[in-house]
Amino acid sequence: MANIAKMKRDRMLAFLEELKATHSDDASIRALNEIENHIREKKYGLIWEDHTEAVDEMLDNNIPVFCEDPERRLCKDPSLPFNFIIEGDNLQALYLLEKTHRGKVDCIYIDPPFNTGAKDWKYNNDYVDSTDAYSHSKWLSMMKKRLLLAKHLLNPDDSVLIVAIDEHEYNHLGVLLEEYFPEAKIQMISVVINPKGRATNYFTRTDEYLYFVFLGESSVDTMLVSEGEVEVRWPYLKRSDSDSTRGHRPRQFYPIYINDETRKIHIIGEPISPDVDRFSVEEIAGCTTVFPVNEDGTEMEWGLTGASLKELNRRGFVSIGKKRNNNPMPYSISYLSTADVKKVDLGELSVTGERDDGTRIVVSKKGKSTRMQTVWTSGLYDAGAYGKTILGSILPGRKFPFPKSLYAVHDTIKYIIGSKKDAIVVDFFAGSGTTMHAVNLLNAEDGGRRQCIMVTNNEVSVDEAKMLTEQGYQIGDEKWEALGIAHSITWPRTKY
């Protein structure tokens, strides 16, 4: 089959050689050589216009260095490997990590900007939005430089790169990965991160994607699951995320009267409106009145309406903890989630007995050893319940857009480094710090010594930048820096 495109190129190149023979001055030769280079450029794969970043200019004239902040050192056990948070531009950090960790990293997990068209990522100090004609090429330029450096960090014999993405750039990212990791085995999986879905004029979006780039002999770990039964976790009834303070759901702020002798629910009271002082509610002799209140006194909401809680309590699916004196919420209350109650009714979970306090023992049968499939649907991957809510419970009052579910990230890295208890994990789009949280959780489960290195800048949100500017502050001012991601979210979460 004749390559028509090549034949055309050869004719154009031959004509250029004729022009060079008759136009031998320097200016003409430079121009003709530039035309020739464009003709000879690759003809298959992603083609885009390269863009520079402000950090490129900084790297041309400055040498980045790591500076330790001794006031932020956390060390419970000096015998264990140190984790690191690197604050700064991740391109600068990757240049430095290339010198210290070249070929040593077992797993890189990144959740880069998705280029959705919203003001969710910066380029040359300006936000890139949907009106930017070069938004795709800017995104690809940004990713290309960082992926090439990331490749140098990975152990070529046995390591995995994992990249989270959604529908806005997943096609471009797939081709980019194929181009710069030609020796790798690449697989994309789908994760349901929003079971309710995000409504659009098209199909309702419930999932995101993960690209796994397998280098060398790397593979997915088999999940070894022992035989037997495991009790199902019951979540706390008090909501803890920043969007669940009193007043958001008026029906979910009501008194629960706990009998101090039996430690059981005596009565579930009626909801009270936000303008009613909770201390004005009538007391019941022999009972303690419990409202959803944080230790700092912030009034929250219950996770269920009173009617739903009554039904669960009737079935033995509500548990009361030990009394804690001098606490704004003297009794902690846990319950079997609505989803797990449905599984009990369907026979997917079993009730195997009853405790002394009358609550039911609900267990799940563990399955055999297996590898995960390419579609992940666990309720634990819900970014709202196990990303936003968890972050809100750690940092009340601080918000971070779209944090990943802790358990989604935990499982993602567990399937890759579950058998590598001394693995090194890098995340150079660290954001809220979910990756280090997940690595620490995995280490706590199996006694591992895995190390996590995170890189994040200290940008503030669009709204915060506007507010601070109006107040006369600018980048570098103490108040501005205090609201940045690294200082107000990533570091406090890691410390917690």
In 238-374, DSSP assigns E strands to: 256-259, 264-268, 287-290, 318-320, 333-335, 350-354, 360-365
- Write out pLDDT tens, residues 264-286: 999 999 999 999 999 999 999 99
Local structure of 73: helix, strand or coil: coil
The reply to whether 115 and 202 lie within a common domain is yes
Q: Are the CB atoms for 191 and 205 separated by under 8 Å?
A: no
Tell me if 160 is assigned to some domain: yes
Share of the chain above pLDDT 70, in %: 92
- Assign 119 a pLDDT band (cuts: 50, 70, 90): low
* Greater pLDDT, 81 or 114: 81
Rounded to 5 degrees, what are φ and ψ at 85? -110, 120
Is residue 47 one of the residues assigned to a domain? no
Q: What 3-state DSSP class applies to 396?
A: coil
- Rounded to 5°, angle at Cα 474 from 473 and 476: 115
- pLDDT tens for 231-258 read 888 999 999 877 789 998 889 999 999 9
**Residue that is last in its domain, among 332, 348, 365:** 365
Same domain for 255 and 320, yes or no, is yes
**Residue 241 vs residue 119, higher pLDDT:** 241
Q: Do 175 and 244 fall within a single domain?
A: no
pLDDT at 226: 47
- Average pLDDT score over residue span 312-327: 93
pTM: 0.66
Q: At 72, is the pLDDT very low, low, confident or very high (cuts 50, 70, 90)?
A: confident
Q: Is the pLDDT of residue 356 over 90?
A: no
Q: What are phi and psi of 303, to 5 degrees?
A: -80, -5
**Is 326 a domain residue?**
yes
Distance of CA 115 to CAs 51, 123, 188, 283, 304, Å? Answer: 16, 11, 19, 54, 36
Task: Share the mean pLDDT of the chain.
Answer: 87
Residues 233 and 140 in one domain: no
Task: Give me the residues paired with residue 163 across strands.
Answer: 110, 211
Domain final position from 304, 330, 365: 365
Query: Rounded to whole angstroms, how far apart are CA atoms 392 and 103?
Result: 37
Clarify whether residues 93 and 141 are in a common domain: yes
Residue at 239 is within a domain: yes
Whether residue 336 sits in one domain with residue 352: yes
Say which residue, 388 or 398, is predicted with more confidence: 388
Q: Looking at the structure, tell me whether residues 162 and 305 fall in a common domain.
A: no
How many folded domains does the chain comprise? Answer: 3
> What mean pLDDT is predicted for residues 385-397?
88
Say whether pLDDT at 230 is over 50. Answer: yes
According to the per-residue pLDDT averaged within each range, which of 10-14, 55-59, 164-168, 312-316 is highest?
312-316
96 shares its domain with 193: yes
For residue 80, the model assigns a pLDDT of: 81
Q: In what order do the strands lie in the sheet with 207-216?
A: 84-87, 451-456, 424-427, 107-110, 158-165, 207-216, 185-192, 375-376
- Contact by Cβ (8 Å): 456, 486: yes
The verdict on 116 and 211 lying in the same domain is: yes
Same domain assignment for residues 205 and 165: yes
Q: Which residues pair with 264 in a beta bridge?
A: 259
List Cα–Cα distances, 88 to 116, 154, 225, 426, 488, in angstroms.
Answer: 23, 21, 41, 15, 14
* Residue 437 falls inside a structural domain: yes
Structural domain boundaries, residue 251 = 229-365
Rg (CA), the chain: 28
Task: Tell me whether residue 63 is in a domain.
Answer: no
CA 213 – CA 203 distance, rounded (Å): 28
- More confidently predicted of 34 and 116: 34
When pLDDT is averaged across residues 144-169 and rounded to a whole number, the result is 94
The amino acid present at 492, given as its one-letter code, is: P
Inside any domain, residue 457: yes
172 is a domain residue: yes
Write the burial class of residue 384 (CB in 10 Å: 0-12 exposed, 13-18 middle, 19+ buried).
middle
Identify the band that residue 42 occupies on the pLDDT scale cut at 50, 70 and 90.
low
Shared domain for 217 and 79, answered yes or no, is: yes
**Residue 417 CB partners (closer than 8 Å, separation 6+):** 106, 107, 221, 423, 425, 442, 450
Task: Specify the range with the lowest mean pLDDT, choosing from 89-98, 214-223, 406-415, 450-459.
Answer: 214-223
Domain match, 379 and 356 both: no
Alpha-carbon distance values, 459 to 117, 256, 475 (Å): 18, 43, 9
pLDDT at 225 over 60: no
User: Model confidence at 73, in pLDDT bands (50, 70, 90)?
Assistant: confident
